[in-house]
Structure 1
């Protein structure tokens, strides 16, 4: 057995022992939404416009127990969905979860589950418009081979959503992982023993200990489940990234970097906006150097979440007034509580609309059938084009070419 095969087997053993994520199975459809898993919202974020079709193929690459798969099926009712994972136990739970929630029964297209390692995704038939890969690449023995396998299965013009760990915000976790490994000694690979050792360490650390304080402040709520504790502290394989090593991984994929899906974090003016001189100096930095500067100034980041694309990915620029006036606006599919002037947005943050914004969005809410342009709606309300752009930039509306 090669080193890579041994690592993959160790990871499979972990997740067969502690299937992850440990979200309970339910007889109800998944509540709410994750906009990054909604094809329309994700595509609009990446391109600036509504996708031309909902009839797509989606791959959930490393689905675990299927919490994300459940959402991908639910949020994309016209898509063909395929899910893969190297853990047989986790995959069984994923299929059970999606059957129990009822999303498969309501789904018009096939939903398929395969016991495959990520590197074996190339064995799947055809290409995919949208690939979701959350919390997987950093557990591979050779992440570059994993991301290259996904790139080969991505359709030209398709998008890939990735989540991987960041080293700066997981520093204390890394220390704890190494401490547990030292105390386990020859018992490494016995994951139940690892959880016991880890919990005993936390129970005995002084209250002012930095590692214990981080656990209590950030992770204890989810780590009360042994599955989550094991995934965090007893994992046999983990690679944590910084901006520099992250972009090495992205470059290895051969895909285009579209952007981080939390752009507010990557705004330097959060820290240096009061200094014209420092902001001026920062303008000379490349995008990657700027990202590195930001994470160094805010080292609490625990993961990166971003989109890649296989060229050609067509994008739309709505900066020209005439083009924007001709666009067909619709409400975002990822909101809760609308129609109302106060509701939850794509990130579950409370939004308060002024009267003009609300009137515009009420018209957008009917637009899946009426197909009225921005200009036509503005003729009957007081909002201006700057207001429309604001709604678009806040991901409250999506725009379609007329």
Structure 2
């Protein structure tokens, strides 16, 4: 289903491809994020059980200017995986930027398709082992129809990485959107609307809630594309955790893991043991909803999802054959942030949440190289005087603390 607002959305992304990206910057850095980091897909979607050498067929549905596509294609190329990434977007302007970024990196494992995710059932694409869809469903007239189109091309046992807006952390955004809709109605040209938007932002009253919201910088440093996407987008719906779970249910999907799991665990935010016990009695969805309401600062929900009838079974981190891997930050760097009291602080959109680590954590983290198994690590530390049972207790504590913050995962088997 499409409606008149679709034409306005199409005009927006042709005029202001989002996010603003310069292909020349590819020589300086690779933009990393969630979802669709390959190590995250290996672990959160496939449970560290799908062999690394098995070709991964991936779809980035609504690829925009290419962040997710470029990251995943680069990861697959570095691994030597024969899989491919299919980029799908209806904006030619956005696709041109994404293709230029791929060319700058000499990536040849991307297929380029112009089209809407709503057309997926008729495009002859797929099936896909993994589907990325970030920042798309909340702009559709019927998000459930978009999700259903994705599910049709998802391979058995596959998974998705989804991102939708969340309401509490977007406080102030919708107030300004309402004001701009009155001053610059969506039926005006994008250029006319952006000019009005800039004028309003120069004189936004001190009392406006957007001024107090530190979750966003797009309207300040994201250029015209960032300002337009945040404050002038003609259709923008936010989902609570409960809304998101209900949306997934319409296509038989379910959350395998929110990013990061610790943030969605109400025990993180409830030091009172009696309150923790009450929270623990709730369903998984209700616990995540409670964490969302308690913290009040979630502006998006990022989640890895699978069919509800195909839940993921993750590898055992204590198995001798398990291979610990740092998600992105090397252990030698992560340990520099450990405080003298053994705590490692994390910030979730400005909200501080420390985790406690055992005294052996710095040594263990620096020994994790993505190659050594748990048995190898036990032997490594035994040679240095650490008894096997002591290592295993410490490793269990390290993994229990750092897996929920998406820092230490398990690698997929190489075979």
Aligned-pair CA distance for 1:170: 1.5
Stretch of structure 1 that moved more, 20-29 or 296-305: 20-29
Report the equivalent of 2:259: 261
Report the equivalent of 1:53: 52
Aligned-pair CA distance for 1:332: 2.8
The CA distance in 1 between the partners of 2:334 and 2:181, in whole Å, is: 53
Report the equivalent of 2:234: 236
Report the equivalent of 2:270: 272
User: Which among 273, 285, 288 is matched to residue 285 of structure 2?
Assistant: 288
Aligned-pair CA distance for 1:223: 3.2
1:84 aligned counterpart, secondary structure? strand
Q: 1:340-375: CA deviations, max 9, x gaps?
A: 854899x9999999885455556542727x996555
Report the equivalent of 2:329: 335
1:380 is aligned to 2:383: yes
The residue correspondences of 1:140-155 to structure 2 (distance < 5 A) are 140-155=140-155
Distance change (3 Å), C-alpha of 1:129 and 1:24? same
Q: 1:4-61: CA deviations, max 9, x gaps?
A: 1433322111100111110222251643633632223332134542531342111111
1:219 aligned counterpart, secondary structure? coil
The CA distance in 1 between the partners of 2:242 and 2:312, in whole Å, is: 27
1:141 aligned counterpart, secondary structure? coil
- Larger helix percent: 1
The residue correspondences of 1:151-230 to structure 2 (distance < 5 A) are 151-185=151-185, 188-206=187-205, 208-214=206-212, 217-220=214-217, 223-224=220-221, 225-230=223-228
Stretch of structure 1 that moved more, 191-200 or 90-99: 191-200
Report the equivalent of 1:41: 40
Report the equivalent of 1:326: 320
User: Which among 277, 296, 300 is matched to residue 299 of structure 1?
Assistant: 296
Q: 1:156-177: CA deviations, max 9, x gaps?
A: 1212000000112223111111
The CA distance in 2 between the partners of 1:286 and 1:355, in whole Å, is: 34
Q: 1:304-328: CA deviations, max 9, x gaps?
A: 0101113535513527xxxx34224
2:129 aligned counterpart, secondary structure? strand
What RMSD in Å do the two structures reach over aligned CA positions? Answer: 3.3
Distance change (3 Å), C-alpha of 1:74 and 1:97? same
Aligned-pair CA distance for 1:211: 3.2
User: Which among 87, 90, 106 is matched to residue 91 of structure 2?
Assistant: 87
- Please give the TM-score of this superposition, normalised by the length of structure 2: 0.81
1:36 aligned counterpart, secondary structure? coil
The CA distance in 1 between the partners of 2:62 and 2:29, in whole Å, is: 19
